[in-house]
Structure 1
Amino acid sequence: MILPSRSGDSAVSARRAEALGARLPPLLVAAQRVAATVAQGVHGRRRVGQGDSFWQFRPFLPGDAAGRIDWRQSARSDRAYVRETEWEAAQTVCLWRDGSPSMRWRSKAAATSKIERAELLLLALASLLLRGGERVRLIGAEARAVTGLDRLAEQVQHLRDDAAPGAAGLPPDTVLPRHSRAVLIGDLLAPLEQVQAVVGRMAAIPVTGHMLQVLDPAEALLPYEGRVRFEGLEREQHTLIPRVEGVREAYVKRLAAQQEGLAAICSAAGWGFSVHHTDHPPEAALLGLYTALAPEPGRR
């Protein structure tokens, strides 16, 4: 059966597709450039395991089975060597970035908003992971993992376009693969009990991972002076403070307590936690994320 088309819906879809196509290339180019810079200074993600691909020779150690000795390699020196192979089973890394309204705020001290930096880091990390043969999927989008960065970028942009004005600042409750890893990127200013519930739910699957708090430099330092009116971005009421410098110390302590709480939640679950300010280069944060996902010795 052929149904009549709705021209209004078609026009809206066409405009959205055109806008999506215009925004994706700069984001992808920037992400790939950052990933390429970091890739020059890191080793591959290969690890020891039960695969067929040769990885390296290493000296025979006490406790190694004699049957693992590579006699041909050992005959070339006065030491016994073991032949190691690479574990070939890719892990799944589940990525999420906060799309709530507060992520779109930017002060004059930063050249980019928090959501722009979060998406840049997410795509750059995905680029590194895909190069290393890992599977990548986006939390909150299609359930299947993607094999191409273009497709992941489209999913990220669709999530931004479809975000409701009151979108939550934490990942949705969704089914994740067992023994996968997760990377959560956002300002992470939600109440600690809500963050605890999210991490606890993922850890029970079990999923391990890393949380990166992305903050504008003004959020970290509260550098304002005098009478300032603060407008709520996520349904909070507006607040007028006569002398901001008078509350700065209390504000900094409150933020430090939030970060200490986040770190404690992550530590209890075996996760990692770090902080990134948007006026700092993204390469250091990306390297930290990529290093945090490196498999632990003896684990697949």
Structure 2
Amino acid sequence: MAAATRVLGAGERTPGIQETGSALSLAERMPRLILEARRVSTTLAHGLHGRRRAGPGESFWQFRPFVTGEAAARIDWRRSARDDRLYVREREWEAAHNIWFWIDRSASMGFASNLAQAPKVERALVLGLALADALVEGGERTGLLGLTRATASRRIVETMAQALVGDGAGLEADAPPRATTGRFDEAILISDFLVPLDEVRASVEAIAGSGTRGHLVAVADPVEETFPFAGQAVLHDLESDLSVNVGDAAAWGEAYRTRIAAHRDGLAEIARARGWTLTLHRTDRPASEAALRLLTLLAAARGGI
């Protein structure tokens, strides 16, 4: 799958890589994005309705069958006496765990059509910051993969924003950095994922290999989903600075829509193979929709809903 393209009208200036990189500069826009993230965060139901995961804690959660190899001291003999099998008494996992974010800021994320409410990169940043804020309010620790430590600080939005502004290398990375995550951690990867599926699969496998659960959030401009063009057009690749003249855009549209649908199916299969989730968010929809879905998915993973 090629990087995001832009269709140019007659006389419109072709954006080069330098222009795209400048458009992705965050320093000037970040204060506005922080305010937007705070606004989205306040619309979300705070907390995750209980973590509900097995682990060290005082509250009873559930009984489960005893597994050969476990310590006999874990067996609940009173419950086991009522059945013909052995049971273990599990306690609720009460300690906060880490939720890691990766927010794609590569060149393709700078694309915005006139149908979108915001460029993909701005929507991705608002989603990530708003979710981090809501999760910290719910008692979780959040951080940026490879950039910050996980923290439950009430200033998590400012901490993440400052780290992103100072991370110039992130403008050229279209895959998450190699970083150590824990067995009970979760990762939220926000990108357009307009890269070969093998690259996405490699990133997911690297993170999931340590037992980390995850969520893919595919941010798409509505034009990238529908390709609503006809007649002659120029397609411009924001990643490579290449252009293609198309004589009949409508004819290209059918093949394009088939390919983008196949790409989305491939993303869904990558997520499903590791027990991850996939959320598709279009930039002509409110950011709060995707944020609420992610909070719901996180809560459901803990049995809290």
TM-score normalized by the length of structure 1: 0.76
1:294 is paired with a residue whose SS is helix
| SS of 2:266 mapped into structure 1 | helix
Instruction: From the superposition, tell whether residues 43 and 271 of structure 1 become closer, same or farther in structure 2 (CA, over 3 Å).
Output: closer
- Is 1:213 aligned to residue 213 of structure 2? no
Mapped partners of 1:23, 1:55: distance in 2: 47
Identity among equivalent positions (%) equals: 38
Alignment of 1:111-260 (within 5 A): 111-142=117-148, 144-148=149-153, 150-160=155-165, 162-164=167-169, 167-235=172-240, 237-260=242-265
Amino acid at match of 1:51: G
Report if aligned partners of 2:117, 2:285 keep a CA contact under 8 Å in 1: no
- Structure 2 distance, partners of 1:131, 1:213, is 25
- 8 Å CA contact 1:137–1:152 kept in 2: the answer is no
What one-letter code is carried by the residue in structure 1 that aligns with 2:290? A
In the alignment, which residue of structure 1 is the partner of 2:10?
Answer: none
Q: Report the Cα distance in structure 2 between the residues aligned to 1:206 and 1:87, rounded to whole angstroms.
A: 16
Counterpart for residue 66 of structure 2: none
Instruction: Report if aligned partners of 1:210, 1:266 keep a CA contact under 8 Å in 2.
Output: yes
Report the CA distance shift for 1:257/1:48 in structure 2 as closer, same or farther (over 3 A). closer
Q: 1:265 aligns with which of 264, 270, 274?
A: 270
Any conservation in 2 of the 1:182–1:209 contact (CA below 8 Å)? yes
In the alignment, is the contact (CA less than 8 A) between 1:95 and 1:136 conserved in 2?
Answer: yes
Aligned to 1:45: 50
Amino acid at match of 2:193: L
**CA gap 1:153/1:114 in 2 versus in 1, 3 angstroms:** farther
CA distance in 1, matches of 2:182, 2:157: 18
> Given residue 108 of structure 1, which amino acid in structure 2 is its aligned partner?
N
Matched, 1:278 2:287: no
Aligned to 2:41: 35
Greater relative contact order (CA < 8 Å, ≥ 6 in sequence): 2
Rounded Cα–Cα distance in structure 2 between residues aligned with 1:165 and 1:289: 23
Shift in Å, 1:281: 1.1
Sort the Cα spacing of 1:86 and 1:203 in 2 relative to 1 into closer, same or farther, 3 A. closer
Q: TM-score, normalised by structure 2?
A: 0.75
Cα 1:149/1:95, change in 2 over 3 Å? farther
Secondary structure of the 1:275 match is strand
DSSP 3-state at the match of 1:137: strand
Q: Is contact 1:104-1:115 (8 Å) kept?
A: yes
Contact 1:109 1:279 in 2 (8 A): yes
For residues 113 and 148 of structure 1, the distance between their equivalents in structure 2, rounded to whole angstroms, comes to 28
Deviation at 1:131, TM superposition (A): 0.7
CA distance in 1, matches of 2:187, 2:170: 25
Distance 1:151 1:37, change over 3 A: closer
Q: Distance in 2 between matches of 1:44 and 1:194?
A: 35
C-alpha distance in 1 between matches for 2:287 and 2:153: 22
8 Å Cα contact 1:55/1:85 also seen in 2: yes
Contact 2:50 2:302 in 1 (8 A): no
Cα pair 1:96 1:185 within 8 Å, conserved:
yes
Instruction: State the Cα distance separating 1:189 from its structure 2 match.
Output: 0.8
**Partner residue in 1 for 2:85:** none
Partners in 1 of 2:166 and 2:231 — Cα distance? 37
Aligned equivalent of 1:94 = 100
Residues 138 and 152 in structure 1, CA contact (< 8 A), matched pair in contact too = no
- Structure 2 vs 1, CA of residues 161 and 241 (structure 1 numbering), >3 Å: closer, same or farther? farther
Partner in structure 2 of residue 61 of structure 1: none
Q: Which 5+ residue runs of structure 2 have no aligned equivalent?
A: 1-25, 63-75, 80-89
Question: Amino acid of the residue matched to residue 125 of structure 2?
Answer: E
Q: Residues 166, 24 of structure 1: CA spacing in aligned structure 2 closer, same or farther, 3 A cutoff? A: closer
Could you say what secondary structure the match of 1:39 adopts? coil
Cα deviation for residue 39 of structure 1 reads 1.2
| Alpha-carbon distance change, 179 to 87 in structure 1, aligned in 2, over 3 angstroms | closer
Name the CA shift for 1:87/1:269 in 2 (closer, same or farther; >3 Å). Answer: closer
User: Between Structure 1 and Structure 2, whose CA radius of gyration is higher?
Assistant: 1
How many residues are paired up? 258
